[in-house]
Amino acid sequence: MEKTPLRQAFFDRLAPGQQVLQLFDLLPDVSFFVKDEGGRFMALNRRGCEYCGVLSESEAIGKTDHDFFPAVRADEYRLDDLQVLQKGEAIINRIESAPEEAGSPRLVTTSKIPLRNRRGRVIGVAGFSRQVERMQSGTADSMASVIEYLHQHYRQDIATGKLAEMAGLSISHFERRFRLAFGASPRQYLIRVRIENAASMLRETDRSVTEIAQCCGFYDHAHFSRSFRRLMNRSPSAYRTQMQPSKTSDKRSPDQSAS
C-alpha cells in the first residue's frame, strides 16, 4: 500500500486504539496475530484464539506460541518470526504445518510482515494463517480434488501431469494456478505432506529413518534428510531424540552421520 498525504491525514485523525484490528474478528477462516520482539502475543482475532485454545484474546496477551502449541511447532513459528525480525522482510504465503500435533496432514498458508516503530526499528511481527483446505477462492476450490489426492497418495511418485489432468488444466496453467492458490509448487506441497507424515512416524514408531523415508515416498535418503532439516529445522534423528527422549536414536539408520 502506498503512503499518500490524504491517507496519512485520515489515519492521523483516528482515535488511538485498535479499531482496524476489530475487522479481523469478522474473518472466520483466518487466524490473525501480532507479536512483539519476544514472541509474545499482542493481538489475536477469534480464529487465533480458537487455535490457541483460549476463550478470549486477553487470555493470550503476553504469552507465546510455546504456551499453546507442541514444542516442535512453536519452535518452527519462532524461527519464522526471528527471520522477519532480523531481516525486516516479509514472509508471503508460506505453506506450513497447522498449529496442532506434529504429523497432522493439515497445512496452512502463512504470511508475516515486520512491524516498525516511529524510528524505523523492527519491534514486532504481524501475520495471518489460513487453512489450505478452507480457502474460499475459486482457484482453491477447483483444486480440492487435487489436494485430497496428494494427501491420500503422498507415498507414490505423483506426476504433475496427472494432477493437471485431474484439475482439467494444462500443466503450465495448473502450476500457475496451484502456486497462486497455495503459495507453493505442487512438488513443494507434496514434500511438505511427506515430511509431516514422516514426523508422525518418527515420533510414534521405532522404524528406522531409512524405512520411514521410503514409506513416505523418499527413495533417496540424503534427499529426505535435507528436506526434513529444511522444513523442521533439525535432522530426522535429532527430531526423534527430542520427541522420544526416553529412547535412544535408531542405530540402524545412516541418518546418524548423514543428516
- The residue extents of the domains of the chain are 18-133, 135-246
C-alpha cell at 129: 494463517
Q: How far is CA 151 from CA 38, 130, 189, 192, in A?
A: 35, 18, 10, 10
| Collapsed DSSP state (helix, strand, coil) of residue 68 | coil
State pTM to two decimals: 0.57
The confidence score (pLDDT) of residue 209 equals 95
Question: Kind of pairing, strands 41-44 and 30-36?
Answer: antiparallel
Range 18-133 classified under CATH 3.40.50.150: no
Q: Is 137 exposed, middle or buried (0-12, 13-18, 19+ CB in 10 A)?
A: exposed
The confidence score (pLDDT) of residue 136 equals 42
Please write the tens of the pLDDT for every residue from 119-128. 999 999 999 9
Residues 6+ apart with CB under 8 A from 82: none
C-alpha cell at 205: 514408531
Q: How far is CA 20 from CA 14, 25, 56, 96, in A?
A: 10, 10, 18, 27
Please write the tens of the pLDDT for every residue from 199-255. 889 988 999 999 999 999 998 899 999 999 887 778 999 888 877 766 544 444 445
The confidence score (pLDDT) of residue 33 equals 96
CATH of 135-246, one of 3.40.630.30, 1.10.10.60, 3.40.50.920, 3.40.50.1370: 1.10.10.60
Of 26-35, 49-58, 139-148, 197-206, which gets the smallest average pLDDT? 139-148
The confidence score (pLDDT) of residue 252 equals 46
Mean pLDDT of the chain: 83
Please write the tens of the pLDDT for every residue from 63-116. 999 998 877 678 878 888 999 999 999 988 776 666 655 445 566 788 999 999
Q: Say if CB 225 and CB 231 are below 8 A apart.
A: no
